[in-house]
Amino acid sequence: MPSSRVEPAFHASSPSPHFERVGESARFPGPRAEISRDRSLSWWRRILPVMQSHRWTFLGAIGFSFVSLIFQTVVPKILMNAINTITGGDEAAIQPIVISVLIIGVLAGVTSYLSRRFLFTTAYNVESDLRNLMYEHLTWLSFSFYDRVQSGQLISRANSDIRSVQMYFTFAPQIIVQASIGVVAFGFMLSINAALALVAMITMPILYIVGVKMRQVMFPISWIIQARLADVASIVDENVNGVRVVKSFAQEAAEVNRLADAAERVAWAYTKDADIRGQWAPWVQNLPQLGLALVLLSGGWLVIHGHTPVGTIVAFNAYLLMLQAPFMMMGQLVMMGQRARASAERIFEILDEQPEITERPGAVDLLDVRGAMEFNHVRFGYGDGPDILRDFHATVQPGESVAIVGRTGSGKSTVARLVARFYDVRDGAIRIDGHDVRDVTLPSLRATVGLVLDEPFLFSVSIRDNIAYGRADADLADIVAAARAANAHEFISELPQGYDTVVGERGYTLSGGQRQRIAIARTLLVNPPVLILDDATSAIDVHVEAEIHAALETLLEHRTTVVIAHRISTIALADRVILLEEGCVVAEGTHEELLTNVPLYNEVLAQTVEAD
C-alpha cells in the first residue's frame, strides 16, 4: 500500500496561527482609469475617462491626422495655380510648383503614418483597459450573479462587444478629423468662388436629416445583433463544456439544430441590418454626388462664358472629393456608432452590477484562528427562492471534526458555502472564533476556511500548478507531501511527465477520484485552520478512500473539520454527527448514538447506501 506519511516539509499538523496573504501579487498595474459611474451620461462620455488616460497618444493621432489632411487641402489650390499659370503661358513657374507638390505629398504621407500608428495604439490600449476592467470586475462579483448569468453572455461581452467599441474609437476620430478638414476645404472654396461653394453645399442639410434618421433606425437592430451573437456564444460554451453529456445521450443532432436556430436568428438580424443600410446608405453616399453635378453644371457655365478660369473648376472638384469622403463614410460611422452604443450598454450592464458579498467598513483580519464555529439560528435560501436552511443552529469546537448528514436537498452543501461566505445568510449569523463572518476580511476568511467540493475544478495547467494554486510559492517537497497526504502521489508519479503533466479541460483527462485527490491536496497545501470536505471522496474507491482517511485522521487532529458526508466510512472520520432534515438540526451526537436512538438517521444512511 502506498505510503500516506506526511513529509516534514509539509507541516500539515500545525496550521498557521496568523493570516498571511497567499498567492501571487498582481504584476499588471491595472487600467489607468475606470469608466464613469454616472449612469445618466451618454455611453461615450462614460468611456471618456478611459480615453483620457491615453490622451497624449490620442491627441498625437488627431494632431498628425489634422496636419496630414491640411497638407492635402493645400494641393488643389496649388494645382489650380499651376493650371492657371500654364494656360497663361508662364511655363517657367511649373518646376517649383511640382517640387512643392512632391514635398507636400511626402509630408502628408509621414504625418498620415504617425497618425494611424498613434490612433491604433490608443484604440488597442482602450480595448485592453476595458477588457481588464471587465475581468477585474467579474472577479469581484458574487456567486449569486453567476447563478443567473450564462458564461457565454459574459464571454461575448468581454470580446465582441468590447471589440465593437474599440473599432468605433479607431475609425470615428479619423472621420471626424476628415469632417473638420471638410470645413477647411469649404473655406478654401469660399475664398476661390463663394457662389460655387454655396451651390456645392445645397445637399448638406438633406444629408444631415438622413444621417439622423439612419441613426435612429440602426440602434435597435444593433442591440439585437449583439444579443443574438451572445446567445450563439452561450450555446457553443455549453456544448463544449457539456460535450460528455451531449454525446452520452446521442444529442449531437439536437444541439446542431439548436445552434442552427440561433445562427439563423443572427443571420436574420444581420440581414435586417443590411436592409436598413441598403435603404439609407445610398442617400448618404450619393447626395454629395448631386452636389458635385451641380458644381460641374454651374462651373462649366462660368468657364464657358469666361467668368472663371479652368483651374478653379479643377480645384473645386478636388475639394468636393475631400468633402465627400467623410459623408460617404457617414453611413459606416452611423452603423458602427450604433453598434458601439449597443455594445457599450451591454458592457455597462456588467460593470454596473454590484457585488452582494462585500467587506463591511472596518472589517478585520481573522488572526490566531482556533477554529470555533457557531451557526446561530441561520436562515438562508438562494435568490428569491424558498428557505433551504430554517433556524439552523449548531456549534463546532476548536479542533473538532463534525459530520453533517441529511437527505438530498436538506442544505448540507449550503452550510459549506455560507461558512466561506459565498452567500450571506438571510437571518441569524455564522461566527468563527466569535467573529461574524460578515465582519472579517474576505481574503482572511477564505484563507482560514479550506473548502473541497464534490465536483472539483482543475485548470488546464500542470498538476503541480493545480496543487500549488493557493500557494504559488510552494516548493516541490511541499507539493509532493500534500499529494501523499491525499493519496495522489502514486498515480501522479505514473503519469508521463509526473507533476509536470498538463491536465485537459477541467481536468477531464483524469478520473473523478483522481481529480478529487488533487483537490484535497490543493486545499491541504494551503493548510487552513478550518477544513470543509463537501462529499470530497464521493468519486474515490472505498479502498483508496480508506488510505486517504488514514492520512486525514492525523491531519484533522489539529484543525476544525466539517465533513459533509454520505458514506458511513466518511462519517467515521467525525467526532460528532449533525443530522439535518428540511434545513433544521433534528439530532446530533456520535455516530453510534444516532444509530441507536434516531430512526431517521438509520433511514437516511439506508438511502445513501442504496444510492451508492
Rounded to the nearest integer, the mean pLDDT of the chain is 79
Spatial neighbors of 18 by CB under 8 A, at least 6 apart, are: 367, 368
> Tens of pLDDT along 293-310?
777 777 777 777 667 777
How far apart CA 211 and CA 283 sit, in angstroms, is: 9
The string over 128-140, giving b where at least 16 C-beta atoms fall within 10 Å of a residue's C-beta and e elsewhere, is ebbbebbeebbee
Per-residue pLDDT, averaged over 160-168, amounts to: 84
Q: What is the pLDDT of residue 2?
A: 38
107: Cβ contacts below 8 Å, ≥ 6 apart: 68, 71
Instruction: Residue 324: name the closest of 176, 178, 199 by CA.
Output: 178
Per-residue pLDDT tens over the stretch 224-261:
887 787 778 777 777 766 666 666 666 778 778 887 88
Q: What's the distance, CA 548 to chain centroid?
A: 38
CA atoms within 13 A on the CB side of 433: 18
Taking only the tens place, the pLDDT of each residue in 445-467 is 988 898 887 777 888 888 898 89
Pull the grid cell for residue 50. 478611459
Name, of 252-256, 315-319, 326-330, 592-596, the range with top average pLDDT: 592-596
What pLDDT was estimated at residue 16? Answer: 47
Residue type for 425, please?
Answer: V
Q: Residue 373's pLDDT is what?
A: 92
**pLDDT at residue number 328:** 61
The rounded distance, in Å, linking the Cα atoms of 510 and 493 is 13
pLDDT at 542 over 70: no
Cross-strand bridge partners of residue 587: 579
Please, which pLDDT band fits residue 169 given cuts at 50, 70 and 90? confident
Topology classification of domain 373-611: Rossmann fold (3.40.50)
pLDDT at 427 over 90: yes
Percent of the residues in the chain that have a pLDDT greater than 90, as a whole number: 8
Query: Which residues, in sequence order, are CB contacts of 173 under 8 Å at separation 6+?
Result: 58, 61, 62, 65, 119
pLDDT of the residue at 538: 62
Q: Which helix (H) or strand (E) holds 104?
A: helix 94-140
Stretch 146-162: mean pLDDT, rounded?
80
At a CB cut-off of 8 Å and minimum separation 6, what does 356 contact?
A: 142, 144, 145, 423, 424
Give the CA-trace dihedral at 64, 68, 73, 79, to 10 degrees. Answer: 150
Lowest mean pLDDT segment, chosen from 62-71, 169-178, 219-228, 313-322? 313-322
Q: How many residues does the chain have?
A: 612
Q: What sign does the dihedral 407-413-419-425 (CA atoms) show?
A: negative
pLDDT bucket at 10, cuts 50 / 70 / 90: very low
pLDDT at 3 over 50: no
At 541 the pLDDT is 64
For the cut 80, the answer to whether the pLDDT of residue 118 exceeds it is yes
* pLDDT tens-digit map of 178-221: 777 777 777 777 777 777 777 777 777 777 677 677 777 777 88
Dist. CA 612–CA 604, nearest whole Å: 13
Q: Hey, where are the domains in the chain?
A: 43-351, 373-611
Give me the amino acid identity at 31: P
Minimum mean pLDDT among 137-141, 264-268, 308-312, 467-471: which range? 308-312
Q: Higher model confidence: residue 271 or residue 608?
A: 271
Distances (CA, A) of 136 to 287, 585, 607: 47, 39, 44
Query: Does the pLDDT of residue 545 top 90, yes or no?
Result: no
Inform me whether the pLDDT recorded for 65 exceeds 80: yes
CATH classification code of 43-351: 1.20.1560.10
Contact 378, 425 (CB under 8 A): yes
DSSP state string for 110-161: HHHHHHHHHHHHHHHHHHHHHHHHHHHHHHHS-HHHHHHS-HHHHHHIIIII
| Model confidence at 419: pLDDT above 60 | yes
Strand partners, 32: none
Q: Distance (Å, rounded) from C-alpha 507 to C-alpha 524? A: 19
Q: What is the pLDDT of residue 428?
A: 92
Residue 86 has pLDDT above 70, yes or no: no
The model's pLDDT over 363-413, given as tens digits with 9 standing for 90+, comes to 888 888 888 999 999 999 988 888 899 889 999 999 888 989 988 888 888
Q: Which of 451, 446, 463, 532 is nearest to 498 (CA)?
A: 463
Higher per-residue pLDDT: 498 or 73: 498
pLDDT at 426: 92
Q: Three-state secondary structure along 414-479?
A: HHHHHHCCCCCCCEEEEEECCEEHHHECHHHHHHHEEEECCCCCCCCCEHHHHHCCCCCCCCHHHH
Closest by CA to 523, choosing from 414, 420, 436, is 420
Contacts for 174 with CB less than 8 Å, ≥ 6 apart:
65, 115, 119
pLDDT at 511: 78
Higher pLDDT, 157 or 219: 157
Residues 73 and 319: their CA atoms lie apart, in Å, by: 7
Distance CA 334, CA 212 (A): 9
For 271-294, b/e burial (b = at least 16 CB within 10 A) is: eebeebbeebbebbbebbeebbeb
Q: What is the mean pLDDT of residues 37-59?
A: 88
Instruction: Assess contact for 401 and 574: CB atoms under 8 A.
Output: yes
Longest dimension (CA), the chain: 122
pLDDT of residue 432: 93
| pLDDT-based confidence at residue 8 (cuts at 50, 70, 90) | very low
Q: List phi, psi (to 5°) of 18.
A: -115, 145
Radius of gyration of the chain (CA): 35
Question: Under a CB-based contact definition with an 8 Å cutoff, are residues 20 and 568 in contact?
Answer: no
For 577, counting Cβ atoms within 10 Å of its Cβ (0-12 exposed, 13-18 middle, 19+ buried), the class is buried
